[in-house]
Amino acid sequence: MMVETLTGHNRSNGISYIELLEGDKVRAPEVYFEESPMEPGLTSIDVSRYWTKEEHDREVEMLWKRVWQMACHKDDIKAVGDTHVYDIAGMSYLIVRVSEDEIKAFPNSCMHRGRAICDGHKKEQKALRCPFHGWSWELDGKLKEVPCQWDFPTVSEETHSLKAVRVGEWGGFVFINPDPDCEPLEDFIGDLDRHFQIPFERRYKAAHVIKRLPCNWKLAQEAFMESYHVVATHPELMPAFADANSKYDVWPNVSRAMSAHGSPSPHTGLENPDPSAFPDKKAFQSFIHPLSKHLYKRLGENRVEVSLPNGKSGIFDMEANYIEGDLKSADTHMCNWVGGKIAPADEDMPMEFTGESAQANRQEAAQARREQMRPVWGDKVDEISDADLTDAIFYSVFPNISPWADFNPIFYRFRPDGDNPEQSLHEVLYMVALPEGAERPEPAECKFLDLEDDYTEATGLGSYLAKVFNQDYLNHKAMQKGIKSQPDGVAIFASYQESKLRHFHETLELWLTSETPPKSPKRQTAA
């Protein structure tokens, strides 16, 4: 197995991301060419921050009670009286549509004895009423009614109206900050808008999934911050995904990763995509590992035949447990990819590389996407860059959201699962871009997946991305288990390929150790 190691310089061999952009038929936005790397160096952290209650409690006090955080989308509370319950690390907040033009937020707690005012999201409420004893408030938080108020001589509108928390809006999303003295949201996110050609206000929620994970929220988020893990976790991407030549940039409270489609992984040693990687020309039926050359063939759900070039073979389940044959071990992530669940409509999903070169394959993929979009976007698609239509370009906004670039609809959010530091919630939204003036569809309903539920049960995601998530899930549960046995008690992050993780943890450390919330620097302007 050939895995690229030392190259003699500070990047992987092969074409760089910027060089690929320079060869595109339709040029990428100039902001994609901008270079803002993190200062070189290694970052190490104490792994106890991934599981101890002490670290969780410190995050509650120093982060979640003081930082701007996305609570919901405005489409979740479209009508006056709509309320959305936002839970974070054991705390709960009510996001309320007070009027057509005003949104407010309050702690989701009755001013009488603390019962949650709303157990879940509600539609078109006329007032906010506690189900326990019937105390109620106007939508704007003013105390409305107290049964037997004569029995509460110290209670009045002035003393027991709901206490509002700060609210901000960006891209159609509603943010809250429990700190009344916080800086404006506009200062916190800086000039994020310049990175997107299509404003998020012109995107709608086409799918929404929340998956409970058996790991800390930071472990979950970190798995989606870099492409360094592709070589081991997602080998099926390597024939046409330049993982180790991804580009990483950081700005205050924001970081970016850019990974190119079309060019094979530098680990393969190839210049062009290998057309034989998927022998059946289908995404999930068979795959030749680009490094080991082992053939993984689907026999049915939870049954995979693995064959080696020397003739040895064996049969395994989707978790790479041995069933029979003279081959006794196999790659867990590949068995999961080939032998895992598939939505029935996706069993024969095509997968073929037809371009004569990496650049040609990239351009063909971009043009195919343009033709798919043309019925809705018209000839405007001819102006959309190859990069926007093919590449994985994803941002992270501190502390826990990841909006992707214009025409990739993925949007992530990661949260602690209540007060359990060893569980988290992975939220996936598909925010689909719309042409200017297009009618906005109704937002998709949210699908909740518990610990043992397969990502493919969320049919709105499609099998391809769901199966990629299933491979990541194998790492999530193993990370939470293994990190407690780390003999040095620290985790280390690579200087460049894990610079987004370094940036996140350095920002987090600043918040956790600052007596007053850190203030953001003045907005930068494009270079």
418 and 333 in one domain? no
Domain end (from 308, 325, 346): 346
Domain end (from 181, 209, 224): 181
376 and 241 in one domain? yes
219 and 175 in one domain? no
5 within a domain of the structure (yes/no): no
Q: How many CB atoms lie within 10 A of CB 502?
A: 25
206 within a domain of the structure (yes/no): yes
244 within a domain of the structure (yes/no): yes
208 and 134 in one domain? no
Domain end (from 133, 162, 181): 181
280 within a domain of the structure (yes/no): no
Structure tokens at 301: 């759900």
pLDDT, tens digit only, all 527 positions of the chain: 557 776 665 677 778 999 999 999 999 999 999 999 999 988 899 999 999 999 999 999 999 999 999 999 999 999 999 999 999 999 999 999 999 999 999 999 999 999 999 999 999 999 999 999 999 999 999 999 999 999 999 999 999 999 999 999 999 999 999 999 999 999 999 999 999 999 999 999 999 999 999 999 999 999 999 999 999 999 999 999 999 999 999 999 999 999 999 999 999 999 888 889 999 999 999 999 999 999 999 999 999 999 999 999 999 999 999 999 999 999 999 999 999 999 888 999 999 887 678 889 999 999 999 999 999 999 999 999 999 999 999 999 999 999 999 999 999 999 999 999 999 999 999 999 999 999 999 999 999 999 999 999 999 999 999 999 999 999 999 999 999 999 999 999 999 999 999 999 999 999 999 999 999 887 544 43
Please give the Cα distance from 235 to 468 (Å, whole number). Answer: 10
196 and 161 in one domain? no
491 and 407 in one domain? yes
199 and 324 in one domain? no
Report how far Cα 34 is from the mean position of its chain's Cα atoms.
Answer: 23
What's the CATH number where 504 sits?
Answer: 3.90.380
Report the number of distinct structural domains present in the chain.
3
382 and 247 in one domain? yes
220 and 92 in one domain? no
83 and 101 in one domain? yes
Structure tokens at 28: 């990428």
408 and 364 in one domain? yes
* Dihedral pair phi/psi, residue 396, rounded to 5°: -125, 125
154 and 98 in one domain? yes
Domain range spanning residue 306? Answer: 286-346
What pTM was computed for the model? Answer: 0.94
Please name every residue paired with 446 in a beta bridge, in sequence order, or none if there are none: 208
Please give the Cα distance from 125 to 202 (Å, whole number). Answer: 28
Please give the Cα distance from 334 to 289 (Å, whole number). Answer: 8
